[in-house]
């Protein structure tokens, strides 16, 4: 049997069902073999293959996807996707082709074979495993490498397989191999768990912060018991879909660019139990020393390095499975915190998601109003992709009201423009019978717009909402705030070449509708939004639209940046309101 045929059989046994790829000579054996055993889908650019595979894996509850790329530019093009999956701790297998083993430079030359580049060395810093397979591996060795993408902390794996190795005849018996069971994750010791319960029972203002390390399956099990815990529950952006926005215990998504009310509630806690989150600076604020200033922090995280990094202050770090801790917590008696939960709800009511602080020019639609209405239009079966950076991303994460059953996936760590469309394509392949709703800014969408063709040719049920504000909204706002509005390369007027969106989508025969001020759900919108298949909606936004609230930063006399703590977003609240919602805050 040809080795590439063995690999295809083994990947099926390891749970892989889909492959996203861009064809190339140095993967010709792999592509031919995989296409016989997996659902292989062509994309235009390799970065789209990686992002689509990542979002497929993050949203799917059955089957996995990998990315297949050729040597040289195939690998260099997918590096951004590897970086994004690395930072978000997402499962991603990338198999790359390489020149024949006889043509490998092996560090002695810059290049010997055509299109040769040392992909393994390039990928190594942003993967959990990066290996050159220059001789056929047996199943157990291959499976162990692939499995590293899933445990204990997920991350990308890159395997580079020379062309002659792919084609080599081997005598491995694919029918006799058995995929290994995943290793069990560490559990919090009984004494440590009882210590957590005691801390919660004795706390006056505890908050449970759920991160992406808490699985959707576990969150679904816990939902009904959340009420009985009596705890205010917040989520990170990676766990946005773990609880319904209307749940009585839900207090929002705190973040550096998050919801003001959620930030204020979290900062008033005297105990934060952070499950399955690394507590990075997006979560704690750049001024991490002021994170939860009056309370203790208990962090349950699978990566010991994240517990040891030194920011923020963590009083009880526990390297363990967050799912296990949550399931044990919902069965425990955590005491009565009704008064605190009632106060947290009052804070949420007093500070609505759409604050009357933003300026929207005449004739334009407020992005905040649009997202609020989109929340009502989306149903529990939808998959929501709120892109990954910029104004569109921030508005979605501040305003969108998720429903139980919805899946939300983003990639905030790398915060790369252009993730939305490719990620939505991956989610659409994972769930072909569900509607995928993408919201992305025009600048970000333009960076990967070639994949409109992928959505069209596959008839994906993908609704693409593009915020048309003639450029990079967040960059424009930064240049307005820090450089007195001296705009550089942020819009059409300063040299950014963006397309005529209606003509662009028409080039792929994708139906398109422009949405402006006074957005009404008319018959044409309803038909496009409900019909199975791709459709585009261009949302006309004010190029000078403001995006508040936000954490302000200042340039100090030494040239350094100094940021406010999470609870002090700009603009300031009315003093009377601030006193009411910040009862337990003292600066």
* DSSP-assigned states of every residue in 226-243: HHHHT--EEE-GGGGGGS
In this structure, the number of other CB atoms found within 10 A of the CB of residue 152 comes to 16
CB 568 within 8 A of CB 250: no
Q: Smallest Cα–Cα separation from 446: which of 470, 478, 427?
A: 470
Residue 502, classed as helix, strand or coil, is: helix
Reduce the secondary structure of 198-220 to three states and give it as a string.
Answer: HHHHHCCCEEEEECCCCCHHHHH
Residue 587 is predicted with a pLDDT of 57
Which portions of the chain are predicted below pLDDT 70?
174-176, 587
Residue 185 is predicted with a pLDDT of 93
Residue 555 is predicted with a pLDDT of 79
Q: Tell me the domains of the chain and their CATH numbers.
A: 3-176 (3.40.50.970), 190-350 (3.40.50.1220), 367-540 (3.40.50.970)
Q: Please give the structure tokens belonging to residue 171.
A: 């005598």
CB 426 within 8 A of CB 48: no
pLDDT digit string, tens, across residues 541-586:
999 999 999 998 887 778 788 899 999 999 999 999 999 999 999 7
pLDDT digit string, tens, across residues 491-517:
888 988 899 999 999 999 999 999 988
CB 543 within 8 A of CB 470: yes
Q: Smallest Cα–Cα separation from 541: which of 472, 468, 441, 465?
A: 468
């Amino acid at each position: 049997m040809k080795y590439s045929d063995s690999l295809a059989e083994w990947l099926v046994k390891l749970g892989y069902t889909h492959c996203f790829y861009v064809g190339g000579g140095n993967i010709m054996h792999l592509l031919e073999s995989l296409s016989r055993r997996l659902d292989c889908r062509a994309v235009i650019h390799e970065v789209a293959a990686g992002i689509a595979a990542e979002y497929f894996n993050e949203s799917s509850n059955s089957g996995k996807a990998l990315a297949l790329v050729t040597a040289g530019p195939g690998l260099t093009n997918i590096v951004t996707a590897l970086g994004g999956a690395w930072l978000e701790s997402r499962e991603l297998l990338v198999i790359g082709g390489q020149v024949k083993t006889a043509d490998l430079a092996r560090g002695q030359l810059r290049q010997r074979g055509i299109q040769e580049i040392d992909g393994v060395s390039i990928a190594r810093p942003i993967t959990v495993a990066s290996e050159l397979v220059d001789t056929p591996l047996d199943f157990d060795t291959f499976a162990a490498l692939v499995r590293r993408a899933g445990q204990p902390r997920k991350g990308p794996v890159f395997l580079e397989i020379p062309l002659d190795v792919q084609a080599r005849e081997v005598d491995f018996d694919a029918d006799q191999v058995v995929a290994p069971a995943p290793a069990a994750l560490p559990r919090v010791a009984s004494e440590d768990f009882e210590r957590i319960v005691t801390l919660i029972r004795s706390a006056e203002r505890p908050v449970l912060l759920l991160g992406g390390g808490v699985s959707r399956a576990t969150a679904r099990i816990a939902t009904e018991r959340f009420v009985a815990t009596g705890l205010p529950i917040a989520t990170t952006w990676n766990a946005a879909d773990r609880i319904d926005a209307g749940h009585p215990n839900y207090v929002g998504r705190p973040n550096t660019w998050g919801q003001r009310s959620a930030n204020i509630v979290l900062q008033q806690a005297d105990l934060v139990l952070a499950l399955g989150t690394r507590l990075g600076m997006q979560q704690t604020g750049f001024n991490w020393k002021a994170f939860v200033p009056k309370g203790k922090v208990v962090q349950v995280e699978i990566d010991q390095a994240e517990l040891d990094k030194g920011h923020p202050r963590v009083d009880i770090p526990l390297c363990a499975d967050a799912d296990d801790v949550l399931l044990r917590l919902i069965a425990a008696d955590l005491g009565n915190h009704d008064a605190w939960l009632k106060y947290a709800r009052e804070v949420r009511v007093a500070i609505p998601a759409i604050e009357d602080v933003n300026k929207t020019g005449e004739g334009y639609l407020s992005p905040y109003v649009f997202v609020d209405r989109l929340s009502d239009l989306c149903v529990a079966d939808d998959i929501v992709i709120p892109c990954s950076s910029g104004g569109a991303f921030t508005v979605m994460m501040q305003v969108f009201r998720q429903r139980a059953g919805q899946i939300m996936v983003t990639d905030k760590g790398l915060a790369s423009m252009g993730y939305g469309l490719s990620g939505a394509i991956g989610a659409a392949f994972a769930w072909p019978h569900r509607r995928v709703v993408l919201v992305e800014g025009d600048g970000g969408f333009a960076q990967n717009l070639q994949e409109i063709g992928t959505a069209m040719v596959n008839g994906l049920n993908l609704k693409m909402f593009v915020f048309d504000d003639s450029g990079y909204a967040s960059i424009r706002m930064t240049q307005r705030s820090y450089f007195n509005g001296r705009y550089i390369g942020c819009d059409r007027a300063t040299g950014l070449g963006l397309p005529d969106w209606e003509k662009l989508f028409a080039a792929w025969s994708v139906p398109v509708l422009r949405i402006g001020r006074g957005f009404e759900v008319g018959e044409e919108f309803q038909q496009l939004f409900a019909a199975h298949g791709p459709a585009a909606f261009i949302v006309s936004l004010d190029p000078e639209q403001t995006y508040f609230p936000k954490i302000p930063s200042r340039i100090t006399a030494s040239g350094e940046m100094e940021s406010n703590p999470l609870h002090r977003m700009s603009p300031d609240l009315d003093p009377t309101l601030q006193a009411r919602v910040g009862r337990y805050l003292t600066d």
